[in-house]
Amino acid sequence: MEQVIAIAKDAGAAIMQVYSTDFSVVKKEDNSPLTQADLAAHHCIVSALSQLTPQIPILSEESEAIDYETRSTWQQYWLIDPLDGTREFVKRNGEFTVNIALINQHEPVLGVVYAPVTEVLYFATQAHGAYKQIKSSPAQRILTKSLDLKQPTVAGSRSHSDQKMQRFMQNIEHRTGVTPELISMGSSLKICLVAEGSADVYPRLGPTSEWDTAAAHCILLEAGGDIVDEAGLTLRYNNKRSLLNPLFFATSNNSHNWADYM
């Protein structure tokens, strides 16, 4: 874990070098933005993980496409998003992260999420708890909060709010008689808000990829929550051809059916 945290912080430093410049932005095939910072962090992480664990394959958002026939043979692999929240990076609002996860048998067993602007770090390993560290302060154990529908708090996307999300919020209000609090945030930090007990749920009602969620998913699991699909099933990784996630709910309370509010 210490080595992976160091790698995430090195990638964060590479991102910050670009952040302070007049960087350019290009569009990828899916119309999402790409900057020199994405690529700098990608090369930093892939190089370091290749030295740390040469036997473990690596799947990065910025990797060349790896076909499912190859991926399906992997029992264990690194899944990384070198710069999660590129739109937030371009807006210079600081709400972007470095995400590094280790996947074993389709589930995340190690997760590191690092926000280089604020120097906030979240990390977890399976069966060892989830932690948050701010700069050089001691790391603190984090846990999800108990759900109180008299005071519901929802984490929402800074850049992807839409009619589905508005309907979700309205339906909570209609069912509970309470206007839910909305915390808008970029990147995988929304999942971490649920993990640390600042929010009850983060509904993602639009497309994401597996590298967007894996690291924070491990942190949320170890904090007492989960990421589930509309049927309430836990998200699994690398078990289908597509790397897209279904619609999901990052939730502090696995027994509450948030899909009812869609």
Q: Where are the domains of the chain?
A: 2-141, 153-261
Supply the angle between the helices 36-52 and 2-19 in degrees, to the nearest 10. Answer: 160
- Tens of pLDDT, residue by residue over 221-259, are 999 999 999 999 999 999 999 999 999 999 998 789 999
Q: Which CATH number fits the domain 153-261, given the four candidates 3.40.50.2000, 3.40.50.720, 3.40.630.30, 3.40.190.80?
A: 3.40.190.80
CB 110 within 8 A of CB 5: no
In this prediction, residue 129 carries a pLDDT of: 98
- Tens of pLDDT, residue by residue over 46-81, are 999 999 999 999 999 998 889 999 999 999 999 999
In this prediction, residue 159 carries a pLDDT of: 67
In this prediction, residue 42 carries a pLDDT of: 97
In this prediction, residue 27 carries a pLDDT of: 87
User: For the chain, which residues score pLDDT lower than 70?
Assistant: 159-161
- The tally of CA atoms less than 13 A away on the side-chain side of residue 246 is 16
In this prediction, residue 219 carries a pLDDT of: 98
pTM: 0.96
In this prediction, residue 160 carries a pLDDT of: 63
Q: How far is it, in rounded angstroms, from Cα 246 to Cα 1? A: 29
Instruction: Give the containing element (helix H, strand E) for 164.
Output: helix 163-176
Domain 2-141: top CATH class: alpha beta
In this prediction, residue 98 carries a pLDDT of: 98
CB 15 within 8 A of CB 40: yes
In this prediction, residue 30 carries a pLDDT of: 80
